[in-house]
Amino acid sequence: MADKLPFGEDKGIWEAIENDPFIPQVKKDDVLVDKPSSEWTEADSKKEKIDWIAKNIITSALSCDEFFRVSQCTSAKEMWDILEITHEGTNDVKRARKHVLIQEYELFRMQKGETICDVQKRFSHIVNQLMSLGNNFD
């Protein structure tokens, strides 16, 4: 599907989420100012629309509770940042979680009465969480 999006919107959508939305601007007196919408080119309109597409993609993937958390956001980037902090935490939270998981990994032992399947699930869960936080294992 990504190859069917016109004008590289697939890349533009992620750029709108990582950065801020595109706002057409023009240089006046050596200063960039927002271009009046009456002066937008067709390309300006298409680029500006990408943020709306990104917001629609994000909101269509959310539960009701998640939607209400980001419903007042004005850009896809703002939505993404709120969701990222909500689900991953700040850098301090990530660092603390990583230290706890490393400790769990280093002290990992089979618990009394635990099946091999349960041990494997628990171990995989710890390793997957550590990998998602940037730890790689050989």
User: H or E element: which one contains 113?
Assistant: none
C-alpha 58/C-alpha 67 separation (Å) is 9
Averaged over 21-40, what is the pLDDT?
Answer: 86
Per-residue pLDDT at 5? 46
> Measured at the alpha carbon of residue 76, what is the angle toward residues 82 and 83, in degrees to the nearest 5?
20
In this prediction, residue 10 has a pLDDT band, given cuts at 50, 70 and 90, of: confident
Per-residue pLDDT at 9? 53
User: H or E element: which one contains 130?
Assistant: helix 116-132
One-letter amino acid at 65 equals D
In this prediction, residue 122 has a pLDDT band, given cuts at 50, 70 and 90, of: very high
**Confidence check: pLDDT of 135 > 50:** yes
Per-residue pLDDT at 125? 94
Domain boundaries defined on the chain: 2-88, 91-132
For residue 16, give every residue at least 6 positions away whose Cβ sits within 8 Å of its Cβ, in sequence order, or none. Answer: 22, 50, 51, 53, 54, 75, 76, 77
Residue 33's DSSP bridge partners are 26
Mean pLDDT for the chain overall: 86
Per-residue pLDDT at 62? 92
Among 50-64, 66-80, 81-95, 96-110, the minimum mean pLDDT is found in: 81-95
In this prediction, residue 30 has a pLDDT band, given cuts at 50, 70 and 90, of: confident
For residue 28, give every residue at least 6 positions away whose Cβ sits within 8 Å of its Cβ, in sequence order, or none. Answer: none
Smallest CA-to-CA distance from 21 within 92, 78, 66 is with 78
